[in-house]
Amino acid sequence: MDQNGVTNPKPQADIIAKLEQITGIRERGYISEKGDSVPLMVDAALAALNDWGQDKNLIDGIIVAHNAGNMLEGRQGFHTVPNMAALLKNRLGITNYECFAYDLLFGCPGWLQGIIQAHQAIQMGDAKHVLVVGIEVASRLLDPHDLDSLILADGCGAAVISGTTDEQVGIISYATYSHALDDISCIYLDRSYNKEIEAPTLFKMNGKDVYKYATVWVPKVIKKALDKAGMDVSEVDMFLFHQANGKMLHAFANNLAQMYGVQGLSFEGKIPTTIEFTGNTSVATIPTMLDLIRKNELANYNIKPGDTVVFASVGAGMHCNALVYQF
């Protein structure tokens, strides 16, 4: 259906084929209808803590990025109190009362912004080790009658950010843009296009407006971050882009290349994708992709010591951000 409730007359198979052609998405993952979002968040956090290998009570900050809080079982809505970070701290059994625990609502760039804020807290001496989590259970906010929302899926990723004295490793620079005037209505919550469905809060997106914003501003925010680092795009070994849709990823590369006066093919082999088999998991796309690469589970991609990686994301607000990191 469209926003006026008019049904698309094309056969369903044709609609699905066209959607895959545009987005690159072949499959998506949804959590079970049983239970809420918390177990998914706890599993990702425990995996990150296990990789980190230190006492969980050394964590002195928890940031959880999401868009709608704790999604309740089935279609029973969502809760934001207690906040997700507090729930996570509770389930992990972290007894350190000086460990802050707050949520970050920043659209799809939320996890990356959480990494930036963790870095800032460490730089200011307010923390030494911060657990940053990005979780989205979008399946319970989807309108089955709205094609634009069907790119979304469920996922969660987590990482522990720690301070280091090694100047050759870590965050080199970052940049964030927020455009909350003309672009505020690109992504929002509203009723289903099917007027018979009473759920008042379902995910809505003006796909064309989102695409226009993202393809213009993501290359610009990347250049801003690289300029702050005093680096040229040719020095970047890999780009980890928010996995919004396949067409958008190509546009990021082409527009960025145009800004630097190089051929788009200059980035061949530097832009991994997971959207084909994960869908768009919002705040979780970048951390889950990074995890696959670090575990050598994403074919033909690996990150070596000394590699420079640019992370970039875009989402509801509208917001976009980029971060330059040396491994």
Higher pLDDT: 103 or 3? It is 103
Report the side by side order of strands in the sheet with 100-104.
100-104, 61-65, 129-137, 154-162
Q: Which range has the worst mean pLDDT, 167-176, 265-274, 277-286? A: 265-274
- The answer to whether residue 8 scores a pLDDT higher than 90 is no
Measured torsion, CA atoms of residues 100, 104, 108, 113, in degrees rounded to the nearest 10: -60
Four-residue CA torsion sign, 18, 27, 11, 193: negative
Contacts 24+ apart (CB under 8 A), 292-296: 293/240
- The answer to whether residue 145 scores a pLDDT higher than 70 is yes
- Contact at 8 Å (CB) between 321 and 116? yes
Rounded distance, CA 56 to CA 71, Å? 26
Domains 12-162 and 170-326 share a fold: yes
- Contact at 8 Å (CB) between 170 and 226? no
**pTM of the predicted protein model:** 0.92
Alpha helices in the chain (DSSP H): 12-23, 38-52, 84-92, 110-123, 207-229, 246-260, 275-278, 285-294
For the chain, the structural domain boundaries read: 12-162, 170-326
The whole-chain average pLDDT of the chain stands at: 91
Q: Which two tokens stand for residue 258?
A: 């145009």
Please name which of 298, 306, 301 lies closest in space to residue 325, comparing C-alpha atoms.
306
- The answer to whether residue 51 scores a pLDDT higher than 60 is yes
Coil, strand or helix at 133: strand
- The answer to whether residue 74 scores a pLDDT higher than 80 is no
Q: What is 170-326's CATH number, 2.60.40.420, 3.10.20.310, 3.40.47.10, 3.30.360.10? A: 3.40.47.10
- Contact at 8 Å (CB) between 151 and 280? yes
Please name which of 66, 64, 95, 69 lies closest in space to residue 81, comparing C-alpha atoms.
69
pLDDT over 90 percentage in the chain: 66
Superfamily designation of domain 12-162: Thiolase/Chalcone synthase (3.40.47.10)
pLDDT over 70 percentage in the chain: 95
1-15, 133-147, 193-207: which has the highest mean pLDDT?
A: 133-147
